Amino acid sequence: MALRMSTAITASDTSGRSLRRPEFIALMAAVMSLGALAIDGMLPALEQIAQGFGVTDPNERQLVVGIYLLANGVGCLIPGALADRFGRRRVLFGVLGCYVVTALLCALAPSFDALLGLRALQGFGAAGLGVLPAAIIRDRFEGDTMARLLSTIFIVFMVVPVLAPSVGQAVLTFATWHYVFVVIAALALLVLVWAWARLPETMHPEDRQALDFTHALHNLLLTFRTRAAIGYVLGSGLTFGAVFGYINSAQQLVGEHFGAGDMFPVIFGVTASTLALSSFLNSRIVERFGARRVSHTALVAFVVVSVMQVYASLTQGGNLWLFVPLMSANLCLLGFTGANFSSIAMQPFERAAGSASSAQSFVRMILGAGTGIVIGQFYDGSARPLAFALLLCSLVTLALVLFSEHGKLFTRPGTARKIPSMSQFH
């Protein structure tokens, strides 16, 4: 499929809506950022939440984040299939509305178990925040151009992990943890109004798919059967899983083990900011060098830095100023793999991009969230579990990418082979 437009995102129906590319990038980044805000904005509040509900196990507080991520992964199969049937706009509005309501309910949770249940519901309903932007972008872009646009969106998107802990900390300065949820609900409502007023329907009517469980299952199985995609999907799940492990235990690791205390939001923001920087750099170089060359180089470097993480955790376990640059390097390199891995994995799926994005996000998030929970629960008051997890996950990812690429790295192949749509199987 050729690039359908160059400077403006126009409606595929008769609504007449249109928005320029800078606004489109900002809106897609805002949609994706709400998911990050629901995760990272909670980090400063975890200790207060645990104290308020009488939770004594220090690792149990991590479940406020981990359960959200896991439920988010489970929900990823649904919004893409709905979007392929009913269009992108209507499904996006439903997702944003669910996010607002569940955030407000979390603020009213009467117990820790109830909060975890509501966080699971919020994560499940918010799955479309990550799925739908990829499908909307795939409606109009492909190849390295799509990778560049995703990277540009990630630049704005990754500002949120930098600022979100500070936002949560600022709320806690004047109010209780309940109001952190009120604030994110208000921000989601603003994004909903913005999308309602400005975002056109990007899906062409002829691309609409039938809504049935066979269709969803087909795309999930097709993801596993497509060798060119599955290594990148599983690999990104593992690398993000290692980072989720860091996020789950960051407040304990940085704030308590390394003794950062109230400086935790700042230090977390410093490490996360490198991901925004690398996403910016990736958007500038990916079309020149190709998504594979850039991401493969970054993955090899990620392995090297993870080896250094292991060495530092064994010999300099309490040195915060050694941990921070190494963790920053890991997150920086993730900016050169995340968007590129997603773009490469989506290339075989020209039609039914929504369902393909859902299936891939489902696998990626289930694997990533599950891995992150396991890593977080292994936290033992030191950086060792995280360091070994980063190394193991990156090595397995390298093996998976080699599988998808038939043992060859740093290539720049031509147009990917397209996968047939579901209708061609009937």
Closest by CA position to 411, among listed 294, 301, 298, 285 = 294
**Residue 318 identity (one-letter amino acid):** G
How far apart CA 224 and CA 217 sit, in angstroms, is 11
How far apart CA 141 and CA 413 sit, in angstroms, is 18
Half-sphere exposure of residue 126: CA atoms within 13 angstroms, side-chain side: 31
**Residue showing tokens 């629960």:** 377
**Residue 17 identity (one-letter amino acid):** R
Which pLDDT does position 424 carry in this prediction? 39
Which pLDDT does position 264 carry in this prediction? 87
User: Where would I find the beta strands (DSSP E) of 105-254?
Assistant: none
Domain residue extents for the chain: 20-197+211-409
Please, what sign has the CA dihedral across residues 253, 254, 255, 260? positive
Contact between 388 and 161 (Cβ < 8 Å): no
How far apart CA 336 and CA 339 sit, in angstroms, is 7
Angle among Cα 68, 268, 340 to the nearest 5 degrees reads 70
Which pLDDT does position 5 carry in this prediction? 41
Contact between 158 and 276 (Cβ < 8 Å): yes
SS3 assignment, position 8: strand
Which pLDDT does position 8 carry in this prediction? 64
Mean pLDDT split into 10-residue runs, the chain, 426 residues: 49 63 87 90 91 90 92 85 85 96 97 96 92 80 71 71 83 93 96 92 75 68 85 94 90 87 85 84 85 94 97 89 94 90 82 70 88 92 94 97 92 54 39
Angle among Cα 78, 84, 89 to the nearest 5 degrees reads 90
How far apart CA 311 and CA 128 sit, in angstroms, is 39
Which pLDDT does position 421 carry in this prediction? 45
SS3 assignment, position 9: strand
List, as one string, the DSSP characters of 18-86. Answer: EEEHHHHHHHHHHHHHHHHHHHHTTGGGHHHHHHHHT---TTGGGHHHHHHHHHHHHTTHHHHHHHHHH
Q: What are phi and psi of 199, to 5 degrees?
A: -75, 125
Which pLDDT does position 9 carry in this prediction? 64
76 Cβ contact list (under 8 Å, min separation 6):
127, 130, 131, 358, 359, 361, 362, 364, 365, 366
Fold classification of 20-197+211-409 is Growth Hormone; Chain: A; (1.20.1250)
CB-based burial of residue 100 (10 Å sphere; 0-12 exposed, 13-18 middle, 19+ buried)?
buried
SS3 assignment, position 10: strand
User: Where would I find the beta strands (DSSP E) of 289-361?
Assistant: none
How far apart CA 156 and CA 164 sit, in angstroms, is 13
Closest by CA position to 129, among listed 168, 164, 159, 100 = 100
Which pLDDT does position 410 carry in this prediction? 85
Angle among Cα 267, 271, 274 to the nearest 5 degrees reads 140
**pTM for the model:** 0.77
Which pLDDT does position 144 carry in this prediction? 66
